[in-house]
Amino acid sequence: MPMPDIITIVDIVLLALLSITAVAILMMRHLFAVVALTGAFSLLSAGLLVTLDAVDVAFTEAAVGAGISTVLMLGTLALTRRRESRPPRLSPIGLLIIIITGAALIYATPDMPKFGDPNAPSHQHIIPSYIKGSQDEIGIPNIVTSILASYRSFDTLGEVAVIFTAGMGVIILLGRRREDEHGYSEDVAAYPLVDEGKLKIDGEAE
Amino acid sequence: MRHHLVLRVIAKMLIPFILLFGLYVQFHGDFGPGGGFQAGVIFAAAFILYALVFGDDQARKVVPDKALIVLVPLGLILYAVTGFYGLFLEGNFLDYNVLLNSPKAGQHIGIFIVELGVGITVAAVMISIFRAYAGRTRAIDDEDW
């Protein structure tokens, strides 16, 4: 058997660790540990993206997946309980659906073009003109940037609008100022729609 | 986290480098991997690390809420205005060719401004979302975890 190259070994190790992390996340009941493992999962995915030469995606995965979203989930945990209350039950229908879907995906995989194949249909349609145009029309070496910011600028404007809207939604729903002078307490956080001036603890009527 | 000396020292050492790397990813995105989205989240990660280690109140002094609420729409407006400016110069919407004398120079400046807009909005939104969560609880003692 020929010695596999180093990228293959790294891929196998990373994918094995990913599966172990995923199973561990499923088994754990302590949510703090689950959040920590989710961060580890994202970091491993970032490593996998590096081996796929998608360094920019790996940046995002490491910063958002392993960093910011882990912190946000910890922040959520601070507002709620740290243990999953209901023990999970094995659902036969769910298991069946997952097995069928997984089998279908594996069955379809060999029909896909080989990874990085320049003759793949998705690389034939409009990509050659982008690769040529990025040099001749736009003049920057990073083709991803020239597609993202120039050829598909409409899409990117839409994406920024989506991020803007998401941010505004969170700010409006959750981002009220902490009101220390009114004696901020967790009761206020639990009933965000109640006017803080009128809030009484546990059903004390007005 | 007043007594976590190691965390505080390491965070203080790391934050300038994270910010510098964010700027590199932002402004070198035409040549190397990266761009506005990546730079925005890396920049936000630095500010979130600061808030985690030195406290939310201290972080609000560094970037006030009022600045954030301006920065969130500013990036989007910068992007859209770049598009409309091309329209005024008798090009198409988001057509950078007409921004400067030569099409290539126009593309360069157009992509630069647009990516800057993306970076500003993404960073500001990420910090705002973190603040929205962090602002809802009091600081948690180590014993409570």
Polymer length of chain A: 206
Q: Is the pLDDT of residue A199 over 60?
A: no
Domain that includes residue B99, residue range: 5-138
Segment A108-138, tens digit of pLDDT: 998 888 877 778 887 788 888 888 888 888 8
Q: Which residue of A has its CA nearest to B51?
A: A71
Q: Measured between CB atoms, which of B38, B44, B75 is closest to A56? A: B38
CATH fold group of domain A1-88: Four Helix Bundle (Hemerythrin (Met), subunit A) (1.20.120)
Instruction: Confirm or reject contact between A140 and chain B (CB < 8 A).
Output: yes
- CA of B138, closest CA in chain A: separation in Å? 8
Q: Which residue of B has its CA nearest to A143?
A: B30
Q: Is the pLDDT of residue A185 over 90?
A: no
Asked if residue B76 is part of any domain, the answer here is yes
Q: Three-state secondary structure along B17-79? A: HHHHHHHHHHHCCCCCCCCHHHHHHHHHHHHHHHHHHHCHHHHHHHCCHHHHHHHHHHHHHHH
Which amino acid, one-letter code, is at A201? I
Confidence of residue B33 (pLDDT cuts 50, 70, 90): confident
Asked if residue B131 is part of any domain, the answer here is yes
Q: Measured between CB atoms, which of B35, B132, B140 is closest to A174? A: B132
Exposure of A62 in the CB half-sphere (CA atoms within 13 A):
18
Segment A47-91, tens digit of pLDDT: 999 998 888 899 899 999 888 999 988 888 887 777 777 766 778
Segment B72-113, tens digit of pLDDT: 999 999 999 998 988 888 888 888 888 888 888 888 888 899
Q: Which residue of A has its CA nearest to B119?
A: A160
Q: What is the mean pLDDT of residues B132-144?
A: 68
Q: What is the pLDDT of residue A193?
A: 45
Distance CA B65, CA B61 (A): 9
Interface of B with A in 58-87 (CB under 8 A): 65, 69, 72-73, 75-76, 79-80, 83
* Token duo for residue A181: 């002078």
Asked if residue B143 is part of any domain, the answer here is no
B76 with A161: Cβ contact below 8 A? yes
Q: How many domains does chain B have?
A: 1
Q: Is the pLDDT of residue A188 over 50?
A: no
Q: Is the pLDDT of residue B140 over 70?
A: no
